[in-house]
Amino acid sequence: MESVRRAGVLLAPRGQRTREPTRLEGVLLTLAITVAGTLLRLLSLNSRSFWLDEATSVRQASWTLPIIFERMSKNVHPPLFHILLHYWVRYVGRDEISVRSFALLFGVIAMPLVYWVGTMIYGRRAGVFSVAIVAFSPFFIWYSQEARMYTLMLFFALLSTGCIYRAMETRLNRWWVAYALSTAAGMFTHYFFAFLVVTQGLFVLTYVIIHRERDLQVLGLSAARWSHPWRILSDCPEAEAWLVSMVVVIAPHVWWIPKVLGHQEITGGIYQSLSYGNTATPGWHFNEVILAAGQALFGMHSDLATRNLSAIWPLAITAAFLASGHVRRASARTWFLIYTGIFGALMIAVIGQWEPIYEVRYFTAVAVPLVILFARLLSEFRTPVLQVVCITLVAVVLVAYADQSYNPNSIVKWDNREAAGTVYRNYRPGDVILVVPYYASSIVEYYLPPEEYFAVRPVPVISPSGKPRNSPALLYQDLSQQVGPATRVWLVSTFLETSRIAQDRSNVVEWFRLNGYSRTEDVQLHRIRVSLYEGGTRKPFFLGQGGGQ
Amino acid sequence: MRRRPVLRRVVLVATVAVIGVIVTGALAGCGLVRTLPPQAAPGSPAASGANMNPEVASEEIGTRQVPIAGKVEPPLVGAYQGVFVPPAPFDMTFIDAYEKVAGKPASIVMWYQPWARNNRSEPDAAACLAIMRRGAVPLITWEPWDPGYDANFLVDPSNQPQFRLSEITAGYYDGYIRSWAQQLKRLGGPVMLRPMHEMNGTWYPWGGTVNTNTSARYVQAWRRMHDIFDSEGANNVTWVWSINRDSVPDTPQNAFSAYYPGDAYVDWTSISGFNWGTTDPTKGGWRSYTRQLAAPLAYLQTLPKPICLSEIGTVEQGGDKAAWITDAYSRIAENPRIKAIVYFDALEKRPTNTQDWRVDTSQASLAAYQTAIASPYYPSTPPKVLSDWAAHLTTSDWTYLGALIPRY
Amino acid sequence: MTDIPSWRRRAYLRSCRVLAVLSAAAAIFYLRWLLFAAKPENHILYGFLVAAEVFNIAQSTGFWITISKQRWPRVSVPDFASSNEYVDIFITVCGEPLSVVEKTVAGAVGIRHPRVRVWILDDGGSPQIRDLRDRYPVGYLHRTSRNGAKAGNINFALEQLFVDFFAVFDADQVPKPEFLEMTLGQFADDKIAFVQTPQVYRDRWINRVSGGAHDQQGLFYGPILRGKNGFGAAFSCGTNVVYRRSAIDAVGGFPEDSITEDLRLSLLLLDHGYKSEYVPIVVAEGLGPMTVSAYFNQQLRWGRGGLEILFKRRPYSAKMTAGQALQYSLGFLYWFTGWAYLIYLAMPVFFLLGGIRPIMTPNEYPAHFLPYVLLSLLTIVYASDFQVTFDALWFTLASFPVQMKSLVSTFIGGSAKFVVTPKERGAVSIRPVRWHLLTSVMLFGAAIAGFLHYGVTPSVFNNVAWIVAHLVILLGFVILTLRPARAPAEAILLAEEAAVHDLEWLDPPAPVVPAIADWEAALSAKSQTESSNE
């Protein structure tokens, strides 16, 4: 029969494919790209202040281990990163560069690691392109510079992907063991690692089993045996091994899960608990997913830049049109990446109907297969096309890197360092520091010496039931106690674009007015504001004697 | 294709699964069992100090100690006038409203806290501090039981196996008690603690004649609590031993004296006594102050401790409330052994009847109350122990205490 | 185009249905948002946008329904030794060059059948063509009038010749020897009036226009016609088709009142209670249009013919089933695509020049629109068994002026004339794409004006991105018009590439997963056995 499998103009036909690099070339290229990527990461490592989550990481890592376990069970993140950071902070240091180096470490390790995974799946050429993507992507650079768990998550996602692929390839138990361990670690690093694990399982339990059974049937080796599931397992050792691995992965979570299920985030939703009181409108939240796509491709920029970059989404349709001529029936390994990458990302997107979970960093684990797929696509371009594509990409990436690193006008940058510095430089013992909203207190705390931590007052007070005490009556009552006899009170406020928080701040300011404090200093910085209020003489202990409300 | 025997694979999977389930079950089991007592073990983060923002590192804060107050001493002349105004102190505006109505600040604010987990069972240092700043000493009625979540006592009070006195004497609640001791000590200010009141009745699970308890157990349990507080150095806690005005049932084993833990363990004694009027036929109709309290007072006066009338109140129905109040306060002023009164300024709704003990149920009643407490016999300045303590606070102590946030 | 091997058909059809359902769900999701959740800003533009989207979704829904009903006939080679039917092969010629016709004649005489005759029906009356009867065992018929164009030509032949079955080939369509073996078996059913087979262009590698047209044909003769066949609505396409003589006689010969006599004939046969069959096996190869103007002429003839039947010839009859009515309607609907595309072209211009746009919250648009459009695209690619390229959709969109012209000329043009699609290389001219150029200039101007007037805002970026997307289609087509020929080296490369059709672009040649590899090897062995059986 005649065949019309046409190649298009963009991709190299099979006979014309540029040769694979040799082993030595691959390693040397990887090394060179890793060094370049590391330099880019180091160059702007400290070009921005700690933001809220980084300061919170340090606060959480400063707890003792039992306390980390106890409290992180009620947190949105599992504790592995914080435990490791606990020792890192203890032995390396607590300053910004030291803390960020921990994330940087895994961001650097990820580069050779992705070469290993990419090479294993699609060969050295695709492997080298994978390293280049990870090394120069503004997204991966950003998270290598942020003292959070995302590069650790990337590290375990790479290990997990590589190990399960190798395990399916070789059927050796040691790779399954490595898979189980790296996956368990990943699950203790970030809950969204689950999307990678679930889709890996989906691949093994649907794709592998269905094809194995169908092919055994075609070969006449066996009839389909869906009525005898355990015999399917004997046909398909991958499925069996994956299930056993899952026991290992889930086991450490069994005692943990009941605690986790008590999360306010699970009962009340992330959105509600973070905005404490704004009513979350049920419905479709994922309109903003397009912004996440923009950030994944171009990195972190100002609001306008992000929106402008995301607005060019119609070009995605053009790309899809052009690509439609090159789509071929995918092989098992491509399906593996489609399952874990594309289906994983889709799952996050679909769940986003109910919860706006479109922080681009939550896609880090499922980004691993996507990177390798993209590297494969790049490695298939015809040489002249590839040159154009690469030059364009490098130009875009360099501009994006510079803007991301050095443009202070960014939606993901705060002048926290400067704000806390203002407080710290002018702090006198007995001063009280009010922080609005309550969860931003870790920022001020990070930059203060520990013996003054108790001067930090989160506003509003959150009752144990999770309700913020932010009605004016309750707020005033709490403030009179929180401020006590202090005559100098700092008011640090951030996230003021949120109406609820802005309202809280103006209530606090009103309380100052009612109680005779006046503003003596006011520093407005990027996304954070610091004011000093001073109120005459020391208040007496007893309210009836002229102090307080 | 290579195939391994099916049976071997199944056995392998089953074995791993069973081991996994056992291990994880054991882990889960440990976790669950540990969560059962009302509070975690001593030294756990929850017990480690003042109730700060749950996310704030409290290790550093927790190690700070403000000055520790002494025991509450009775006034040389007169008696402290206190009050119970629910839902204070969990909503302080009720205290402020009371002071406006009564015309005089209270010297003691009393309230109730049960031991049942998650039902306001933890000390609320911020609430205590708010009371102190209003010039009053907190008096916490500390109840080892599960009252249920409304005032109707749907849980059978006399049959709560988890709150038998033997559970306390066996040490099951030591961790919880210790965490109270630590948290109250860290607060530093004077606190009166009234655990296991009305033990000579049948309506509480710590009653000496119910729930397999005995009076000896009661004394044992009391001493155990007291010893734990002593060992933690919580000397700012004043112990108030509180009886019901009559013993139910009235047997020798259930006599007041059978429950007295000893002079070394008690700082104050106290009585509960209400005039129920005609609101509840089982309570014997209108009873005057004297008829109500003469007998128990006679007993308490034999003990070398100041006396507090820790729950006192009257209804309108069946008599003249204003006259009752005037009579009661004049007789209190005649008895120099009575050093504190806590008026039960609350409305109690029960399934069958309702008692409105509040002072302002009528103009006459309120006027009588205002007149009665306006007497200089009831001091309007903070108790000395409190003002002494406040005078010793440094600015830094103050800032520290300001970090306390209300728990409930 | 390659048919789906029989062992894969069940899985293929199941996947088509799953994708159809998913695409439909995405379309509903999008439409629900567009109609009920989106906030209209300019109501007139909103109305146009809704109309265009509803039209597109209706057309897509038709496609999804079609691919869910694909049917393959049982192909068995009849025993010609024991049967006694006679077959004539008609090669309709009207001015085509000798070299083209001779290839066809040579192919036709090679058709395996004991009682087959080949006739050249020459309306051109060229002596060179006539001389072919000396070199090949063929008959030559020439009439003096040229009434009724191709239909008249065939009717003239039918007046002279009386056999059971006759096949019609355009002058460029070279039949393969197995043509009758693959098709005649279907006539076992007395109600079958004709058996259609696919049309492919053998010059698709050397000419880009021909390649694009071939791609469109691939989609049409692949999932679409297989699906129409499932509804009993496969229609005759005028070439590579075998007719039953008695059925044609029953409807009074070929209709001469339409320039798409094949479609008209199919409808008449349906009205007389006859059925049709489509055999998706390539048994003839032809030549495609080599220039854009030739391609547009062909499109204009098909579009105008179809629309004339729709508006002037009462296409629907009581004997049609609902499925057949749906399928024929979809055929007509295709010719309105240009109007919808015009609306899409106009939207960014309206915003960038006039500041008016159809909906207020463009941010929600991609989240609702992209799933639908990407899934639809994937469904098309899958349904074509990964054989369709960008060209098929590109040519459809770029034909918008022709599609619009065919509607307009149906009502205000003169009477339609049958023009044979020119199959040789003509002069290259910019004329056929003058509308494309004009539109491109307007779009480009609008983009510049938008940036100058509104500055750098997400809305401008979004609309400019749309313009870039349109320019890729339009200017790409202009370039194609000017340089339709492919470099020989590239053509050879592509043809070679096509030969290795089982290799997948996302995979290296060496199998890496032994566990998977050993069944893959077994599978490919099996599929080879199957294809050699066919």
Which tens digits make up the pLDDT trace of A152-168? 999 999 999 999 999 99
- Tens digits of residue pLDDT in C342-390: 999 999 999 999 989 898 766 678 888 999 999 999 999 999 888 877 8
Decide: A356 and A286 in contact? Cβ < 8 Å: yes
Say how far residue C13 (Cα) sits from the centre of its chain: 21
Quick one: pLDDT at residue C500?
55
CB contact under 8 A, B402 and A457: yes
A230 touches chain B (CB under 8 A): yes
Say how far residue C311 (Cα) sits from the centre of its chain: 22
- Rounded distance, CA A320 to CA A335, Å? 18
| Cβ count within 10 A of residue A315 | 15
- Rounded distance, CA C51 to CA C31, Å? 11
Quick one: pLDDT at residue A287?
58
In chain A, residues with a C-beta closer than 8 Å to the C-beta of B14 are none
pLDDT average, residue stretch A49-68: 89
A464 touches chain B (CB under 8 A): yes
* A221, pLDDT greater than 70: no
In chain A, residues with a C-beta closer than 8 Å to the C-beta of C218 are 4
Chains that touch A (3 or more CB pairs under 8 A): B, C
* Greater model confidence, A256 or B229: B229
Which of A3, A4, A285 best probes binding to C when mutated, by most C CB atoms within 10 angstroms? A4
CB contact under 8 A, A441 and B387: no
When computed from its CA atoms, the radius of gyration of chain B, rounded to whole angstroms, is 24
Nearest to A219 among C214, C386, C519 (CB): C519
**pLDDT tens-place values along chain B, 408 residues long:** 444 555 566 566 666 666 665 555 554 444 433 333 333 323 323 323 333 444 444 444 455 788 999 999 999 999 999 999 988 888 888 998 999 999 999 999 999 999 987 778 889 888 999 899 999 999 999 999 888 765 555 567 777 888 999 999 999 999 999 999 999 998 999 999 999 999 999 889 999 999 899 999 999 999 999 999 999 999 999 999 999 988 988 999 999 999 999 999 999 999 988 899 999 888 888 999 998 899 999 999 999 999 999 999 999 998 999 999 999 999 999 999 999 999 999 998 887 888 999 999 999 999 999 999 999 999 988 999 999 999 998 877 887 887 777 777
Say how far residue A131 (Cα) sits from the centre of its chain: 20
- Rounded distance, CA B126 to CA B402, Å? 8
Angle at C224 between CA C221 and CA C229, to 5 degrees: 90
* A214, pLDDT greater than 80: no
DSSP per residue, C289-304: --SHHHHHHHHHHHHH
Decide: C68 and C227 in contact? Cβ < 8 Å: yes
Among all residues of chain A, which has the CA nearest to that of C515?
A169
Quick one: pLDDT at residue B45?
31
Decide: A478 and B93 in contact? Cβ < 8 Å: no
Mean pLDDT value across chain A: 84
* A17, pLDDT greater than 60: no
Structure tokens at B183: 């948290």
Say how far residue C265 (Cα) sits from the centre of its chain: 18
CB contact under 8 A, A325 and C282: no
Nearest to A441 among B56, B126, B406 (CB): B56
Q: By CB neighbour count within 10 A (0-12 exposed, 13-18 middle, 19+ buried), where does C82 fall?
A: exposed
- Tens digits of residue pLDDT in A447-460: 887 767 778 888 88
pLDDT average, residue stretch A260-272: 53
pLDDT average, residue stretch A76-102: 92
CA distance to A34, A422, B256, B263, per residue, from B139 (Å): 67, 43, 22, 20
- Rounded distance, CA B237 to CA B125, Å? 13
Name the band, by pLDDT with cuts 50, 70 and 90, for residue A3: very low
Overall residue count recorded for chain A in this entry: 549
Quick one: pLDDT at residue A354?
66
Note the pTM of the prediction, 2 decimals: 0.78
B44 touches chain A (CB under 8 A): yes
Decide: B276 and B348 in contact? Cβ < 8 Å: no
Residues of chain C with confidence (pLDDT) below 70: 1, 361-363, 413-427, 497-534
In chain C, residues with a C-beta closer than 8 Å to the C-beta of A19 are none
B342 touches chain A (CB under 8 A): no
Q: Measuring CA to CA, which residue among A314, A252, A285 is closest to residue B24?
A: A252
3-class DSSP state of C439: helix
Decide: B131 and B100 in contact? Cβ < 8 Å: no
Q: Measuring CA to CA, which residue among C30, C56, C26, C29 is closest to residue C393?
A: C56
Residue B349 β-bridge partners: B354
Quick one: pLDDT at residue A231?
75
ipTM over 0.90: no
Quick one: pLDDT at residue C299?
93
pLDDT average, residue stretch A105-121: 96
- Tens digits of residue pLDDT in A495-531: 888 888 899 999 999 999 998 899 999 999 999 999 9
What do you get for the CA distance between the two ends of chain B, in Å?
67
Quick one: pLDDT at residue B338?
95
- Tens digits of residue pLDDT in C426-472: 567 888 899 999 999 999 999 999 999 998 888 899 999 999 999 99
A303 touches chain C (CB under 8 A): no
Chains that touch C (3 or more CB pairs under 8 A): A
CA distance to A180, A228, A253, B137, C195, per residue, from B71 (Å): 60, 76, 49, 11, 109
| Cβ count within 10 A of residue B65 | 12
Residue B342 β-bridge partners: B82
Q: Categorise residue B305: left if φ over 0, alpha if ψ from -120 to 50, beta otherwise.
A: beta
* A224, pLDDT greater than 60: no
Nearest to A482 among B59, B402, B407 (CB): B402
Quick one: pLDDT at residue C202?
87
- Tens digits of residue pLDDT in C379-428: 999 998 888 778 888 999 999 999 999 999 988 866 656 566 555 555 67
